[in-house]
Amino acid sequence: MRSGLSAVEVAAIVKAIMVRQLAADCDDRAAGLDWYEENTDIWDAEKVRMLAPAGNIRNAGAAIALEGSPPGERARDCWGVDISNDPEVLAAIPGWYLVCEGCYLIYPKWLPTVDEVDNIA
């Protein structure tokens, strides 16, 4: 069942969870929260078309971009894979999943319903 959320709304939900989770890995959690909040961008469809690499992401309604980590902190090896498979994130966005597009970008996609899949075939 699709949640009725737009791709941008899904991206905002994911960003809130990931900022909290990534900041929890920091020695200075408060500074980590500030840094991740400031440096994690939500792109709408227009910005995705302008800035995203070629490929399927160019049709995405939104994306979440993050490069680097707070000064003095070690970044996760692949935050996109971690966040895309996180049970808390997936539970918060029913009917959607996340696609990792390189080392700095993820985007939400809706899960097609059985009827939608049947119409495609």
Integer Cα distance of 91 and 94 in angstroms:
6
Integer Cα distance of 84 and 70 in angstroms:
21
pLDDT means per 10 residues, the chain with 121 residues, are 82 97 94 96 95 86 94 84 95 95 90 70 57
Residue 1 pLDDT = 42
Integer Cα distance of 55 and 59 in angstroms:
8
Nearest to 14 by CA among 69, 78, 85: 85
Residue 58 pLDDT = 85
Residue 119 pLDDT = 66
Task: Show me where the domains of the chain are located.
Answer: 7-120
Residue 2 pLDDT = 54
Integer Cα distance of 9 and 110 in angstroms:
12
Residue 52 pLDDT = 87
Task: Tell me how far apart the 2 most distant CA atoms of the chain are, in Å.
Answer: 51
Residue 103 pLDDT = 78
Residue 47 pLDDT = 95
- The whole model's pTM is what? 0.88
Residue 75 tokens, joined: 């970044």
Residue 113 pLDDT = 72
Residue 82 tokens, joined: 């971690």
